[in-house]
Structure 1
């Protein structure tokens, strides 16, 4: 079979998406073999149980993207009668922090409660353990043209309830009384690495001008007198504040005003700052969900908000501009 016939066969019988998926699988086999789904036995405990250890997917993944992955894995585990346990202690992630003597804390538990009553110590003495990760089946099932509405429906239908750490929830309830009222417009837009690096498969962010145009419509229609703004980009924050003649509240956080567009945002902060930023980010997104009105770009935070909180917006608008 000559090269032309091979190319013709591929064009007629194998889609570009299938070819892409096969390249992904080859890459995973060569460079990420240990990150595959596989079974392990660590001891003789709990011979009648199967534990499913949910591992992080890399060092650059943000906390709310981590959450969305975890609820999918919890659903998978429960559907197969496995006991899910989240392990962000023994595997690399951007929130992994040492405790002492090279021991690490389970960074998942800095933000959310564990998803079962079993400890990692007991799991890693047990007979039947499955480590989460990639699989050929997962790769072949990946959908690339998943609309925003489809994603919201997908995460809601998972019906997985994960609790926020009590301290964070209490803080969110306290701040809500201070900043949120019946005339509060929630405003969310990403900048910095999201715009500069244009991560493939992530939603395109609106320009500040697009955002302001929609905000002015809401101010006029609903007599908005208070805006609750979420952005990590100081330049965007300043533009919005200069353009609007209403009260704008921004919770104190480590906004990056010296971003140079060369790397992911987390690399500009110390480990303790990264964790503090993640806590503040979760708080702000939860408060955003409690606003009466909302104008938002689409990110993992948006999907987290709509799946985690019981949102009751009087009116909302999402900038669905496609993906990078």
Structure 2
């Protein structure tokens, strides 16, 4: 192990954290690749990185099919982007799901501009990923925020939608952002994912912190209307929510179709439903990242808010209740 430390310049504590989170089902080659990516991330200034002579790498595969755009998809693609850059390739995301939709281009700009003169390759096997922490420290938030600040750039249409919701809901206000998950996460209890707090526990902490943080408003991100109503009862006149559909009928679907039901199985009678479900979700996470402070269950959305915020919250708290 000492040779690994010397080769990659990684601290033992970082390596042990990585081993605890990711090593069990990975071979030694993948482990060393991932450590190399960790070092590359820590030591690279992406703003100064000259990719003008890098050949283009088309990223055409992902870990899952991803029927909808969500935060784990972003993480998956950021891993691929970093892998390409660390091997001196310029990444372009051309992954399409089974519906032939490039989820990245639906909402985000490509990482780099590609000219006709660039040499181009297709990258099907990207055998490395970062060690994304379940409970990121401030130092880890700063490190991973580098990727979000550089590469997670909303396209013009998405940014316009984000700006409109921000200006109408929270601009100029002191707002405590709250994320409270329900539906398939709390019903299915996915193995090795963080346990989500009960709504009553979140409400209790919000009551404790609201005056202390001098926040007049609460922005609530949740996919269940019954949770919204519970918060509105606890904090009358203080709850802000973005424009979105709620997914309470997931529970009926689960009763009829079994314990493997997913939130993506919930559909609404509108054109481009999957697009708007993804946009509403992404905008909700973006709004959380703009709040004065954050209290949330630990999930992909709340961790993304931390990375987008880049340690600018006056206070942040993710419930640490272990894993399912």
Conserved 8 A contact 1:54-1:132: no
Q: Distance in 1 between matches of 2:90 and 2:242?
A: 38
Task: Confirm or deny that 1:116 pairs with 2:112.
Answer: yes
Structure 2 spans left out of the alignment, 5+ residues: 1-19, 31-53
Q: Deviations over 1:115-150 (max 9, x none)?
A: 23239xx89xx77422145x4xx4xx8869854327
Equivalent residue for 1:259? 250
Conserved 8 A contact 1:54-1:70: no
How far has the Cα of 1:207 moved from its partner? 0.7
The number of equivalent residue pairs is 267
Equivalent residue for 1:164? 154
How far has the Cα of 1:50 moved from its partner? 5.3
Q: Distance in 1 between matches of 2:23 and 2:151?
A: 34
How far has the Cα of 1:285 moved from its partner? 1.1
Q: Distance in 2 between matches of 1:164 and 1:20?
A: 34
Residues 18/256 of structure 1: CA separation in 2 closer, same or farther (3 Å cut)? closer
Conserved 8 A contact 1:183-1:226: yes
1:75 aligned to 77, 82, 86, which one?
82
Equivalent residue for 1:321? 321
TM-score (norm 1): 0.71
Q: Distance in 1 between matches of 2:241 and 2:266?
A: 21
Q: Counterparts of 1:282-321 in structure 2 under 5 Å?
A: 282-310=282-310, 312-321=312-321
Structure 1 spans left out of the alignment, 5+ residues: 1-14, 26-47, 97-103
Deviates more, 1:152-161 or 1:287-296: 152-161
How far has the Cα of 1:107 moved from its partner? 2.8
Secondary structure in structure 1 of the residue aligned to 2:151: coil
Conserved 8 A contact 1:187-1:229: yes
Equivalent residue for 1:268? 266
Q: Distance in 2 between matches of 1:287 and 1:177?
A: 10
Secondary structure in structure 2 of the residue aligned to 1:221: coil
How far has the Cα of 1:19 moved from its partner? 6.8
How far has the Cα of 1:232 moved from its partner? 0.3
How far has the Cα of 1:77 moved from its partner? 0.5
TM-score (norm 2): 0.71
Residues 196/154 of structure 1: CA separation in 2 closer, same or farther (3 Å cut)? farther
Residues 184/62 of structure 1: CA separation in 2 closer, same or farther (3 Å cut)? same
Q: Deviations over 1:55-87 (max 9, x none)?
A: 232235752111112112111101101121112
How far has the Cα of 1:154 moved from its partner? 4.9
Aligned-pair RMSD on alpha carbons?
3.2
Q: Distance in 1 between matches of 2:169 and 2:202?
A: 21
Q: Distance in 2 between matches of 1:286 and 1:142?
A: 23
Task: Confirm or deny that 1:57 pairs with 2:46.
Answer: no
Equivalent residue for 1:39? none
Q: Distance in 2 between matches of 1:265 and 1:309?
A: 26
Equivalent residue for 1:4? none
Secondary structure in structure 2 of the residue aligned to 1:190: coil
Conserved 8 A contact 1:54-1:73: no
Conserved 8 A contact 1:228-1:250: yes
Q: Distance in 2 between matches of 1:198 and 1:62?
A: 21
